[in-house]
Chains A and B, each alone.
Chain A
Amino acid sequence: MIALLVFLALVIPIGIHLISRSEGKVVLFPFLALLPAQSAASELHIKLRQRWLLLVRLLLLLCAGALVTISLISDWFVELGLNEVVNAQPPAPTVIVTQDWWNTSNEQEKNALKAQLNSDDFEEVESIVFVANNNKNNKGENKRLVRVSSRNFEETFKDESSSDDAIDDTNNSARSTELSNIWSTAQVVAQSIPVDSPLHIYTSNRYSQFVGGASYVRERVVWHISSIDEASQDSNKPTFQLALIGLDLTKASEEQIQRMAQTEIAIRALQNVYPSIVVNKLRSESVSSLTSLSQQYDAIVVDAIDDSEMETVVKVVQVSKLSSSQKAGFVLNLGAAIFKDKQQEYLFFNTWLSAQQIQNSASSAEHLAVSALPESTDSQLKTYLAILLVILFLVERLMSEMRDKQGYTKQNAELGS
Chain B
Amino acid sequence: MHTLINPALLAQLKDLPLVAKTVAQGFLHGMHASLQRGSGIEFSQYRAYEPGDPLNNIDWKLFARSDRYFVREAMRESNVQVWFVIDASASMLHASQSKNAKKDSWHKLDYAKHLVATMSYLAQQQGDSIGMLGLSSNSTHLLPARAGYQHWQKCVLHLAQLDSGHEFPEFTHIQQQIAKVREHGLVIVLSDFYQQNNEILNALNKLVSPRTDVIGMQLMSDDELTFPYKGRIHFEDRETKQRLTLSSKAAKQSYLQNVQSFNQTLATKLQSLGVEHHLVNIDQPMDKTLRRFLKLRAKPL
Binding site for B on A (CB under 8 A): 21-36, 38-39, 41-43, 45, 414, 417
* B237-A32 in contact (CB<8A): yes
Besides A27-B234, A30-B237, A32-B240, 14 more A-B contacts (Cβ < 8 Å) are A21-B232, A22-B232, A24-B231, A26-B243, A27-B235, A28-B94, A31-B237, A35-B246, A35-B258, A36-B246, A38-B245, A414-B97, A417-B97, A417-B103
Q: How far is the CA of A417 from the CA of B239 in the complex (A)?
A: 18
Q: How far is the CA of A43 from the CA of B244 in the complex (A)?
A: 11
* A27-B192 in contact (CB<8A): no
Q: How far is the CA of A38 from the CA of B254 in the complex (A)?
A: 11
Give the chain A neighbours of B194 by CB distance below 8 A.
30-31, 33
Could you name 18 residue pairs across A and B whose Cβ atoms are closer than 8 Å?
A: A24-B245, A25-B233, A26-B233, A26-B234, A28-B238, A30-B108, A31-B239, A32-B236, A32-B240, A34-B258, A35-B244, A35-B255, A36-B254, A36-B255, A36-B258, A38-B244, A38-B246, A414-B97
Beyond A28-B94, A42-B246, A42-B247, is A35–B232 a contact (Cβ under 8 Å)? no
* B233-A27 in contact (CB<8A): yes
Is B259 in contact with chain A by the CB < 8 A criterion?
Answer: yes
Q: How far is the CA of A31 from the CA of B193 in the complex (A)?
A: 10
Q: How far is the CA of A23 from the CA of B245 in the complex (A)?
A: 10
Task: Identify which of A26, A36, A417 contacts B236 (C-beta below 8 A).
Answer: A26
In the complex, residue of chain A having the shortest beta-carbon distance to the beta carbon of B254? A36
Is B262 in contact with chain A by the CB < 8 A criterion?
Answer: yes
Is B125 in contact with chain A by the CB < 8 A criterion?
Answer: no
Q: 7 closest pairs, A vs B, by CB?
A: A36-B254, A30-B91, A32-B237, A31-B194, A30-B94, A24-B232, A29-B235
Give the chain A neighbours of B246 by CB distance below 8 A.
35-36, 38, 42
Query: How many chain B residues touch the partner (CB < 8 A)?
Result: 33
Task: Identify which of A23, A27, A34, A414 contacts B255 (C-beta below 8 A).
Answer: A34
Is B157 in contact with chain A by the CB < 8 A criterion?
Answer: no
Give the chain B neighbours of A31 by CB distance below 8 A.
91, 192, 194, 237, 239
* A30-B232 in contact (CB<8A): no
Give the chain B neighbours of A33 by CB distance below 8 A.
194
Give the chain A neighbours of B254 by CB distance below 8 A.
35-36
* B245-A43 in contact (CB<8A): yes
Give the chain A neighbours of B94 by CB distance below 8 A.
28-30
Q: How far is the CA of A23 from the CA of B231 in the complex (A)?
A: 11
Give the chain A neighbours of B239 by CB distance below 8 A.
30-31
Instruction: Tell me the residues in window 208-247 of chain B with beta carbons closer than 8 Å to chain A beta carbons.
Output: 224, 229, 231-240, 242-247
Interface centre among A30, A32, A34 (most CB of B within 10 A): A30
Interface centre among B229, B232, B235, B242 (most CB of A within 10 A): B235
Q: How far is the CA of A414 from the CA of B99 in the complex (A)?
A: 11
Give the chain A neighbours of B234 by CB distance below 8 A.
23-27
In the complex, residue of chain B having the shortest beta-carbon distance to the beta carbon of A24? B232
Q: How far is the CA of A22 from the CA of B231 in the complex (A)?
A: 10
Q: How far is the CA of A38 from the CA of B255 in the complex (A)?
A: 12
Instruction: Tell me the residues in window 70-124 of chain B with beta carbons closer than 8 Å to chain A beta carbons.
Output: 91-92, 94, 97, 103, 108
In the complex, residue of chain A having the shortest beta-carbon distance to the beta carbon of B108? A30
Give the chain B neighbours of A22 by CB distance below 8 A.
231-232
Give the chain A neighbours of B55 by CB distance below 8 A.
none
* B258-A30 in contact (CB<8A): no
Task: Identify which of A21, A28, A42 contacts B250 (C-beta below 8 A).
Answer: A42
Q: How far is the CA of A39 from the CA of B246 in the complex (A)?
A: 8
Q: How far is the CA of A417 from the CA of B223 in the complex (A)?
A: 13
Give the chain B neighbours of A30 by CB distance below 8 A.
91-92, 94, 108, 192, 194, 224, 237-239
In the complex, residue of chain A having the shortest beta-carbon distance to the beta carbon of B256? A34
* B236-A28 in contact (CB<8A): yes
Task: Identify which of B91, B92, B236, B259 contacts A27 (C-beta below 8 A).
Answer: B236
Q: How far is the CA of A222 from the CA of B94 in the complex (A)?
A: 81
Give the chain B neighbours of A21 by CB distance below 8 A.
232
* B233-A34 in contact (CB<8A): no
Q: How far is the CB of A410 from chain B (nearest CB, A)?
A: 10
In the complex, residue of chain B having the shortest beta-carbon distance to the beta carbon of A31? B194
Q: How far is the CB of A51 from chain B (nearest CB, A)?
A: 16
* A39-B245 in contact (CB<8A): no
Give the chain B neighbours of A417 by CB distance below 8 A.
97, 103
In the complex, residue of chain B having the shortest beta-carbon distance to the beta carbon of A32? B237
Is B251 in contact with chain A by the CB < 8 A criterion?
Answer: yes
Q: How far is the CB of A45 from chain B (nearest CB, A)?
A: 7
In the complex, residue of chain B having the shortest beta-carbon distance to the beta carbon of A21? B232
Q: How far is the CB of A101 from chain B (nearest CB, A)?
A: 76
Q: How far is the CB of A233 from chain B (nearest CB, A)?
A: 84
Q: How far is the CB of B142 from chain A (nearest CB, A)?
A: 25
Q: How far is the CA of A24 from the CA of B224 in the complex (A)?
A: 19
Q: How far is the CB of B165 from chain A (nearest CB, A)?
A: 14
Give the chain B neighbours of A43 by CB distance below 8 A.
245
Interface centre among A34, A36, A38 (most CB of B within 10 A): A34
Q: How far is the CA of A35 from the CA of B229 in the complex (A)?
A: 12
Give the chain A neighbours of B235 by CB distance below 8 A.
27, 29, 32, 35
In the complex, residue of chain A having the shortest beta-carbon distance to the beta carbon of B97? A417
Give the chain B neighbours of A32 by CB distance below 8 A.
235-237, 240, 242, 244
Contact flags B248-288 to A (C-beta < 8 A → 1, else 0): 00110011001100100000000000000000000000000
In the complex, residue of chain B having the shortest beta-carbon distance to the beta carbon of A45? B247
Q: How far is the CA of A34 from the CA of B262 in the complex (A)?
A: 8
Q: How far is the CA of A25 from the CA of B103 in the complex (A)?
A: 18
Give the chain A neighbours of B251 by CB distance below 8 A.
35-36, 42
Q: How far is the CB of B257 from chain A (nearest CB, A)?
A: 9
Interface centre among A23, A25, A35, A38 (most CB of B within 10 A): A35
In the complex, residue of chain B having the shortest beta-carbon distance to the beta carbon of A416? B103
Q: How far is the CA of A156 from the CA of B146 in the complex (A)?
A: 133
Give the chain A neighbours of B236 by CB distance below 8 A.
26-29, 32
In the complex, residue of chain B having the shortest beta-carbon distance to the beta carbon of A410? B231
Q: How far is the CA of A355 from the CA of B234 in the complex (A)?
A: 71
Q: How far is the CA of A38 from the CA of B244 in the complex (A)?
A: 7
Q: How far is the CA of A31 from the CA of B244 in the complex (A)?
A: 11
Give the chain A neighbours of B97 by CB distance below 8 A.
27, 414, 417
